[in-house]
Structure 1
Amino acid sequence: MNPDLDLTLQRVIRAPRAAVWSAWTDPSLFEKWWVPAPAVCRVDRLDVRSGGAFVTRLSDDGVDFVPHIDATFLVVDESERIVFTNAIDSAWRPANPAPVPMTAEITLSDHPDGTDYRIVVRHGDPAARARHEELGFLEGWDSVTKQLAVVAESRTTR
C-alpha cells in the first residue's frame, strides 16, 4: 500500500466469506449493493474470472440507465481476492475512464465475527488519488460496503 497513490477501506462483515463472495459474484445479489442507494444498479456483464468482463449501468430513477463501469477482472482467487481495473475495458482495450482510472483489490479473510473485508484502490499518480478522494471515495465505497454487508448478512439468517 502506497499512501501517496492508494485509498483503502476495511470492515468486518458479520457473514461468512461464502456469503460475501456470493454477493460479489451473483449478478442478482450484486445489483442490490454496488451503487449507493437510492441509485439502482443493472449488471450487463459480471464474468468473475481473470480476464472476465465487469460492466454495469446505474439509474437515479430506476428507469433511465447510464453506463457506470466498464472494466476487466485481472485476478480472481475464489473466496479470497478480486482485482479489477477500469483502465482496461471489458473488450480488453485501453481506457481512460472518468472520473479516474484505478485498480481495485478486494480481499476476504476469516474473522472471528465473520469476514474481514478489505479494499485497496490503486491510482497511477497522486493527482488521480486526490481526485478520487475529493469525489467522495470514502463515502461512496463505505456506503456500498455497508449495503454489501446487509446483503451478505441477510443470506446467513435464512
Structure 2
Amino acid sequence: MKTQNQTQIEAVPDLPVIRIIREFEAPPERVFRAFVDPELFAQWCGPRSIDTTVDRWDARTGGEWRYTASRAGDDFTMGFWGSFHEVRPAERIVQTWAFDGNPDGVSLETMTFEELDGGRCRVTAQSVVESMEIRDQMMASGMETGVLEGYEQLDELLEGER
C-alpha cells in the first residue's frame, strides 16, 4: 500500500532559517544512501522538468560537491556547489551550499535521518541563510516545487528498490 507523505516547509519565525521535514517509507540507511550516492541523487533531485548532472561528488566529511541542473528545450542551466562538513552514515549530513547565481550567498544545511517504527525514516533539513531577506526570497522563489517533486521522485526511487 502506497502512503502519501506530507512535506512540511517552513520559515522559522524571527530566524534566517528554513526547515523541511519529510517522512519516507524506507529505513534511514536507504534514504541516506539516496542523498550521498551521486547516481541516486541525480535521479531524484529537483523538479521533474529538470535534469541533474553531478560534476563532482565526494560525500565524506571534508569532501566537496557540485551539480548542474538544466532543462531540455530552453537555456536554463544552474550550478549548485558546496562542501560536506560532516557525513555520519544513516544519521546526519552537514553541508554548505551555494548556487552560481549568488556565490556569496552560502547556506549551512544540517540533515538528520531519524528511524521511525515500521522501517520508516524522517528527514529534517534545516538551512541557515545569511539574512531574513534571503530566507524570504528563497521561500518565494518557487523552491517548494523542486522540494515537493524531488521528494516524490525519491519516494518512487525508494519504492523501486524494494
Stretches of structure 1 that go unaligned for 5 or more consecutive residues are 90-95
- Which residue type is aligned with residue 107 of structure 1? T
Q: Does 1:122 align with 2:128?
A: yes
Q: Is the 8 A contact 1:58 1:68 kept in 2?
A: yes
Q: Does 1:139 align with 2:145?
A: yes
Q: Does 1:45 align with 2:56?
A: yes
User: Which residue is equivalent to 1:27?
Assistant: 38
Q: Which moved more, 1:34-43 or 1:59-68?
A: 59-68
Q: Counterparts of 1:66 and 1:136 in 2: how far apart (Å)?
A: 16
Q: Counterparts of 1:148 and 1:97 in 2: how far apart (Å)?
A: 27
Identity of aligned residues (%): 28
Q: Which moved more, 1:30-39 or 1:79-88?
A: 79-88
Quote the offset at 1:88 in angstroms.
Answer: 10
Change in CA separation of 1:53 and 1:26 when aligned onto 2, cut-off 3 Å: same
User: Which residue is equivalent to 1:101?
Assistant: 106
Q: Which has the higher contact order (CA 8 A, sep 6+)?
A: 1
Aligned residue pairs total 150
- Which residue type is aligned with residue 149 of structure 2? S
Q: Counterparts of 1:56 and 1:87 in 2: how far apart (Å)?
A: 11
User: Which residue is equivalent to 2:5?
Assistant: none
Q: Counterparts of 1:78 and 1:130 in 2: how far apart (Å)?
A: 32
- Which residue type is aligned with residue 108 of structure 1? F
- Which residue type is aligned with residue 18 of structure 1? E
Q: Counterparts of 1:27 and 1:126 in 2: how far apart (Å)?
A: 31
- Please give the root-mean-square deviation of Cα atoms over the aligned residues, in Å: 2.7
Quote the offset at 1:119 in angstroms.
Answer: 1.1
